[in-house]
Amino acid sequence: MPEQQFKLHPRLAADTHWVCDWPASTVLLMNDTRFPWLVLVPRVPDVVELFQLSAQQQQAVFREIVVLGEAVQSLFGADKINTGALGNLVSQLHIHVIARFSGDCAWPGPVWGVGQVQPYAEPVLAQRLDDLRAGLPKP
Amino acid sequence: MPEQQFKLHPRLAADTHWVCDWPASTVLLMNDTRFPWLVLVPRVPDVVELFQLSAQQQQAVFREIVVLGEAVQSLFGADKINTGALGNLVSQLHIHVIARFSGDCAWPGPVWGVGQVQPYAEPVLAQRLDDLRAGLPKP
């Protein structure tokens, strides 16, 4: 993939913490303790919609969506995985993979735009990033 | 795919109109005039999460997600396609593909759970279904 021109959107960078780079996408943790909330950003410049990826890129990104969803459910014991590519606020293609629990503060609605973000405090953040880096498989 | 045991969830059936059957999924139109809102339901029994599909089923379903997204954007001139697999209310795996417009009644938030559904009146519904059946490509 032509990564030389890819640059993470500043809003995504501000709202998240970097977890790791997978072959096609960068894995980010949304800075919000209310939900175990990961974001995949395909490292392809100037792509807004899934269908703008090449067939090869689509296959790699979809593989990573599935692997991340299964890992997040397993790591957090989620009741449901919510997967979404919206991009109404930040057009750079990014895919949310969120562990949902019946009874979480947005259940059964979607998480986007609901309530107030609760950022991670430092020791909890470091532990969560360690857990994710140790627990996420290689896609 | 083992279609013999597949049965569309009654809530999905009640909220939508059937558009067509694609190789892996049934295409439905959400009965809500506020958004051009399609739903793909993979015809696989007892599947809740994308990662529960076989690799072959995943590939087919993802292909249909991409084809539907591109077609919906083209048919409706959407500003953004929103794609999501949530399933917090109806666990049967289904993928929303929604044409969004800056300035629509939920913009820039997600559409799920927002405001009141506005069902199609009959002549408009028939026209929309005709347009979709004529305009959607074969994936």
Q: Is the pLDDT of residue A3 over 60?
A: no
**Residue among A62, A86, A113 minimizing CB distance to B82:** A86
Which residue in A35, A62, A97 has the most chain B C-beta atoms within 10 A of its own C-beta, making it the best mutation to test that interface?
A: A62
Q: Mind listing the pLDDT tens digit for each residue in B111-132?
A: 999 999 999 999 999 999 999 9
Give dist(CA A136, CA B22) in Å, integer: 34
Give dist(CA A105, CA B111) in Å, integer: 18
Q: Mind listing the pLDDT tens digit for each residue in B10-24?
A: 999 999 999 999 999
With 0.90 as the threshold, say if the pTM is over it: yes
At the topology level, CATH places domain A3-135 in HIT family, subunit A (3.30.428)
Q: Do B108 and A89 touch (CB under 8 A)?
A: yes
Q: Mind listing the pLDDT tens digit for each residue in A104-120?
A: 999 999 999 999 999 99
CA atoms within 13 A on the CB side of A26: 21
Residues of A engaging B, defined by a Cβ cutoff of 8 Å: 48-51, 58-59, 62, 65-67, 69-70, 73, 80-89, 91, 100, 102, 107-110, 112-113
CA atoms within 13 A on the CB side of A75: 24
Sequential DSSP letters for A52-110: GS-HHHHHHHHHHHHHHHHHHHHHHT-SEEEEEE--SS--S--EEEEEE-TTSTTTTS-
With tokens 């894995």, the residue in question is A27
Chain A residues with beta carbon closer than 8 angstroms to that of B110: 84, 86, 88, 110, 112-113
Query: Which residues are within 8 A (CB) of B5 and not within 5 positions of it... i.e. 6 or more apart?
Result: B45, B46
> So what's the ipTM on this one?
0.95
